[in-house]
Chain A
């Protein structure tokens, strides 16, 4: 047919890009062909590797080695030759404390370091389990026979696409002293108090307790005649309503006083919200990986279990969890390593404050080296080495645990 040869308008741009792409390749082909004639086809492998190795060596490998050297030098210069060798002085300043558990007993750098370490440990130990459990629950629900799965999955994943700065601005705006959260809580408390004090309280309460009592009697008096159920319902509703109305005065809350969620010093709220916001921003990623793991479990296993009369909960503990274990380990390792390096969200949200309450270890490194008049690169490098060691131990420990599990 004639119309197969006519390019459709939607394909024309793609063809143009393809043509440009080919032309670009042809232009670059000249020098590469000359080079190939010189060194032979097989050695071209080194040519293809060269840019990567160059960048990788210069900006990953070399800095890694350099870090060791900088950790043993002092001064504030970025020129290596001008940095005096100080031996273990940086490490001594970080580690030479009467007690690591109480950063206040340390010198300035040590105080900042150990505050960061303990805050980060607390953050990781609380955040990682919570996130894994919530991600697992979400993935399990999305793995059910559910409508519009793609939509739910996309919504849960969406915050992962947002930048940490945007996430922090959004939540800062929600958590302000006169932000929407305090307004909602205040309205909620006022509304509840108004409801408790209003004339509607007793009828609505009676209706609800009647419903509850009816559902209860349906179960308890399953085989009895209807009039008995009705009597039971009436009695039950009376009892519930009596109990609740006698406590009516106690049901009203104190008037709500707005909380400064991110600045309130002596409460744990800033740390709570840092954990919450970080989890909000990263949950979708781990949910997605767990969902992929769940969908890789063969369906016929469940069908076989169902035929054997295995209960749902037993199938979960005996089939789902063991087969999901490799994915869970990946998620655990990834989330733990990431949690240890948390910086962006916290830095923009609280700046490590109030005081030092949410200062994480990476912020300590960043601030030692790049903030303030005294640029203590040596302290930062020494701290980096200690953190890298910690992360390495964590990773290797987890890999070993995985291997043991797989072997046993």
Chain B
């Protein structure tokens, strides 16, 4: 074993410095930390209460309905079976606790990631700073986040959600930046050419066209949040993670497998639903798509063909040709 001293290099105490920085934050930004703790506790516990208030079978039906609304009846069926299994395995409460934690962590992470991604897309300097920070956040082992989280918030739910937010944030930022940078340059130019302000271009052109990519980012955020929410069991956050930690400690295979299956069921549900939200066009069988199709068929006027003599077109023959070319 060679030490820094043997290599003639000074021992750089990065860890100590960071620790000092954390201590400083703990001492001086206590109000913010307390606020974060109180808000998160309130929101997550409230959400758990909400998810637990109807009978579990009613909730299963609701989840299946969500799946049908955005995706297909097949996903709805799978969801119903999977969530019923959660009840049968007697892990309904921890599953809902984990789900609540993931939902809240995702909302916070996306609320931070999307504006940051927009900034990075619009400004190369911001992008250059943000990118290595994201690399750092993503590659640092997830467990490490738990340590300062516990120093800040002691054990329980809040350090878990804090670590989850940090860990899940990067893909949201990256894919938002990518989505906005990918928007067709000519379309953005069109906005500029008609005198739109940068804000009008962002809202009316860049964001809507970036939605599929941003939603892919949100999907990634959710997946990472779910994987981290399990690790958060180490801080004592209630949920499937806690069961996993217990099963490791006691080498309890049945408990571990059941908790693991619970995570998988939640993961598949969240993944399919969010990816369907990002590409509504691809899910023609979804309930929402059907309702929309019915509404347009009943209400919206069909284009009157331009061959009608009263169209007032200066060159009807012209239009007819291109109509034909279009079909």
Do A and B assemble together? no
Residues of A in contact with B (beta carbons under 8 Å apart): none
Residues of B in contact with A (beta carbons under 8 Å apart): none
